């Protein structure tokens, strides 16, 4: 029986591409690098910020990555609340789902920013748990974040009835580590090929389609 739904944040509940793109370019320019296009940034959204920084500056040096992330966050902290856009149907879908199931967020974004964004969008109260990374640059995996969300939902010892909604391979793989199936959405940053290769059990177009699928799954239980 379906008990709870976990959501990724970037590309699933919000369109964060414009915001993240501006902040990444701010950091690149400040460090003497050329700016990049939105399409260059799109596949970098989802994994930990350290990975994106390393790719963009072409270095794994901790001091350079730390400098880049600090510059990125200087802008992001003050702009993410108003530059992050809600996914189409966000409020109505969350209202509908939260009336029936527990909802949680499991994101590789730093948790303070996730809390700020969801509060600004007026949907923070729909979630029983919001789990993200700390501000430490420790490369915490999506699997570890999902594990904390599962624990917050009281499902550490029994994940039956949990479903993950994500848009990237690491969402699918992180959930699969706990035996949780994933609904892949196509309105985010990943591709259908990426989601299928990672093993998403279902693939739908958008949030409204997620709600319809969950209703169908519940009706046949």
Q: Do both 103 and 68 map to the same domain?
A: no
Q: Do both 22 and 60 map to the same domain?
A: yes
Q: Which of 61, 83, 105 is the last residue before a domain boundary?
A: 83
| Segment-wise mean pLDDT, segments of 10 residues, the chain, 221 residues | 96 97 98 97 95 97 97 97 97 97 98 98 98 95 97 93 98 98 97 98 98 93 63
pLDDT for the residue 221: 63
Q: Do both 94 and 144 map to the same domain?
A: yes
Q: Do both 78 and 112 map to the same domain?
A: no
Q: Do both 97 and 189 map to the same domain?
A: yes
Q: Do both 62 and 157 map to the same domain?
A: no
Structure tokens at 12: 């699933």
Q: Which of 39, 59, 83 is the last residue before a domain boundary?
A: 83
pLDDT for the residue 220: 81
Q: What is the CATH number of the domain that holds 152?
A: 3.40.50.1000
Q: Do both 109 and 175 map to the same domain?
A: yes
Quick check: 44 and 52 in contact, CB under 8 A? Answer: yes
Q: Do both 95 and 198 map to the same domain?
A: yes
Q: Which of 25, 55, 83 is the last residue before a domain boundary?
A: 83
Domain count of the chain?
2
For 60-78, what is the HEC assignment?
Answer: CCHHHHHHHHHHHHHHHHH
Q: Do both 70 and 109 map to the same domain?
A: no
* CA end-to-end distance (rounded Å), the chain: 6
**Strand pairing class (182-185; 14-15):** unpaired
Q: Do both 30 and 109 map to the same domain?
A: no
Q: Do both 97 and 119 map to the same domain?
A: yes
Q: Do both 181 and 101 map to the same domain?
A: yes
Q: What is the CATH number of the domain that holds 41?
A: 1.10.150.240
Q: Domain range holding 102? A: 4-15+85-219
DSSP letters along 80-106, please?
Answer: HHHHSEEPTTHHHHHHHHHTTSEEEEE
User: How does pLDDT run across 148-162, given as a tens digit for each residue?
Assistant: 999 999 998 899 999
Max distance between CA atoms of the chain, in angstroms, equals: 57
pLDDT for the residue 1: 85
């Amino acid at each position: 029986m379906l008990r709870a739904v976990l959501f990724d944040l970037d590309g699933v509940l919000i369109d964060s591409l414009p915001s993240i793109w501006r902040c990444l370019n701010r950091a690149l320019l400040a460090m003497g690098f050329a700016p990049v296009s939105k399409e260059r940034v799109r596949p970098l959204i989802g994994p930990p910020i350290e990975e994106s920084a390393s790719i963009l500056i072409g270095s794994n040096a901790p001091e350079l990555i730390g400098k880049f992330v600090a510059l990125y966050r200087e802008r992001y902290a003050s702009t993410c609340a108003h530059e992050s856009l809600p996914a189409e149907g966000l409020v109505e879908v969350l209202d509908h789902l939260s009336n029936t199931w527990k909802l949680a967020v499991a994101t590789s974004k730093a948790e303070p920013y996730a809390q700020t964004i969801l509060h600004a969008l007026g949907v923070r109260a729909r979630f029983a748990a919001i789990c993200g990374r700390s501000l430490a640059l420790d490369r915490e995996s999506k699997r570890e974040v999902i594990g904390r969300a599962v624990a917050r939902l009281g499902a550490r010892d029994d994940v039956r009835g949990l479903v993950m909604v994500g848009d990237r391979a690491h969402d699918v793989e992180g959930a699969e580590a706990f035996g949780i199936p994933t609904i892949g959405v196509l309105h985010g940053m990943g591709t259908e090929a990426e989601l299928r290769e990672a093993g998403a059990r279902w693939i739908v177009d958008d949030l409204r389609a997620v709600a319809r699928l969950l209703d169908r799954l519940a009706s046949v239980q």
